[in-house]
Amino acid sequence: MELNSLQRNPIKMRYYIALIILSLPLFGCKKSNGDAPEVKELIIRAADISALPEIEQAGTIFYDHSGTAKDVLTILHENGCNTIRIRLWHTPETEHSGLQEVIQLAERVKEKGMKVWLDFHYSDTWADPGTQDKPAAWESLTTAELADSVYSYTQKVMALIEPEYVQIGNEINAGFLWNNGHINNQADFITLLKSGIEAVRDHHPETKIIIHYAGYNAASWFFGVLQNQNVDYDIIGLSYYPAWHGKSFDELTTALNQLVAGIKKDIVIAETAYPFTLEWNDWTNNSVGLASHLMSGYPATELGQKVFLLDLKEVIAKCPKGIGFAYWAPEWVAFKGAEATNGSPWENMTLFDFDNKALSGMEVFNP
């Protein structure tokens, strides 16, 4: 392609420049410009592989970059992933994401020499900003009774798993354990949140506590409430998906810096992912499947995914209190087959291609 053509198309120019520089070391050294922030090594380089037991149960085989069949934990570990995030549901309809399955997965993680990041949903199913249903077993409890249950349940699980990191709730923008713990019922929300935190502090004081908020809009207000209520935790966790949370790294950088300047806590991107294609590998509707979902300059290609992740990693590393990230569901391939209508809505967002071979974006876990 002629230079003039590339100059007229900055996105294509960025793409071709990336082909040249991706093999160069980007992290772990200080920039030559003395005024630029130091790009430090991140403490947490995590992946959330909560669906792995179900996927393995279906007989799914994964392959590393060379095409050698290996289990997902081995592939992640060999690529520099040092922490595994696992969601926990209270009483799910199946065994998946239930306590026994989570215990078994956590044991496998520890055997690999990796750290466990336990994600309490305090629900029987998915908990997120729009859904925070309390477990059915707790449905009729008063707030005081619910606080006692949160404490005893949290303490019990912590004793069985002993994670290095723990989330008290998942994406709790509007509170959790609705309706008692809705953010609109601020006093009850704080009571329930502190109950879970106290269970961790009382019995496992070495575990780092993460409070998880989706996106960054109003995050300063949310964490300001926690600060004003003297909520005791260690790490701010944010979800960041361009399709839903803003398509500008400049905006994200500003938000992160403002947040840690006001709250003065370490910060981690607790969930992120980016598509390597807009195609599909089963008949389940994909969560991210439109060109409008993409960030400008980052096409839905293997290289586009990799560059997005490396650039996001650099944003986090430059943040004064940025300590890491977690890639969400890198293993959630179309494991139920091409004809499945209830398969994976995420197969184009994984870190494995449609043949279950590791993509180059996996390199984001390298120190």
* Residue 45 structure tokens: 């380089």
How many Å separate Cα 155 from the centre of its chain? Answer: 24
Q: Radius of gyration (Cα) for the chain, nearest Å?
A: 21
3-state SS track over the chain: CCHHHHHHCHHHHHHHHHHHHCCCCCCCCCCCCCCCCCCCCCCEEEEECCCHHHHHHCCCCEECCCCCEECHHHHHHHCCCCEEEEEECCCCCCCCCCHHHHHHHHHHHHHCCCEEEEEECCCCCCCECCECECCHHHCCCCHHHHHHHHHHHHHHHHHHHCCCEEEECCCCCCECCECCCECCCHHHHHHHHHHHHHHHHHHCCCCEEEEEEECCCCHHHHHHHHHHCCCCCCEEEEECCHHHHCCCHHHHHHHHHHHHHHHCCEEEEEEECCCCCCCCCCCCCCCCCCHHHCCCCCCCCHHHHHHHHHHHHHHHHHCCCEEEEEEECCCCCCCCCCCCCCCCCCCCCCCECCCCEECHHHHHHCC
Q: Which residues pair with 86 in a beta bridge?
A: 118
239 phi and psi, to 5 degrees?
Answer: -85, 140
**Which listed residue (271, 279, 302, 314) is catalytic?**
271
Pick the catalytic residue from 38, 78, 95, 171: 171
Is residue 39 within 8 A of residue 27, CB to CB? The reply is yes
Match 């590791």 to its residue by tokens. 358
Query: Is 171 considered catalytic here?
Result: yes
Residues with catalytic roles: 171, 271
